[in-house]
Amino acid sequence: MNEPSRVTYSLEEMFSRLEQKIDKLENKLDTKIDTLENKLDTKIDTLENKLENNQKEVNQKLDKQSEEIATIKATLQAQQQLIQKIPDLAEKVGELKNWRQIVIIALTATISASITWLIRGGNLKP
């Protein structure tokens, strides 16, 4: 029925074939590792480039904001003197209102005196 199978190859031949197969597998493995390493390197390079670009953008935005803050500070310092003058200006406006009231009262008195003088006949005798 079943006869035992016999090996007709010599051991040297078998070992050499095994060595060739191992060498082929090793070469294939080396090439795959090399391609994966190259892909990983390119991905890392692209990520580094993106990171550098993002960092440059952030630095530019920070520089712009620093400039804006500096201009705002300069504006506030320039306006600080004006803000300190507000109480003096309010006092002067109050004084002007008082003078305006005095002038209105004086004009009203002068006009009413003139009208009364005209009504009495226009002479200076009582």
SS3 for the chain is CCCCCCCCCCHHHHHHHHHHHHHHHHHHHHHHHHHHHHHHHHHHHHHHHHHHHHHHHHHHHHHHHHHHHHHHHHHHHHHHHHHHHHHHHHHHHHHHHHHHHHHHHHHHHHHHHHHHHHHCCCCCCC
Distance CA 40, CA 12 (A): 41
CA distance 88 to 94: 10
Average pLDDT on 83-110 reads: 80
Tell me if the pTM is above 0.85: no
Q: Which pLDDT belongs to residue 5? A: 65
**Could you read off the pLDDT of 28-47 as tens digits, one per residue?**
999 999 999 999 999 999 99
Q: Rounded distance, CA 87 to CA 47, Å?
A: 60
Distance CA 19, CA 99 (A): 116
Residue 49 has pLDDT above 90, yes or no: yes
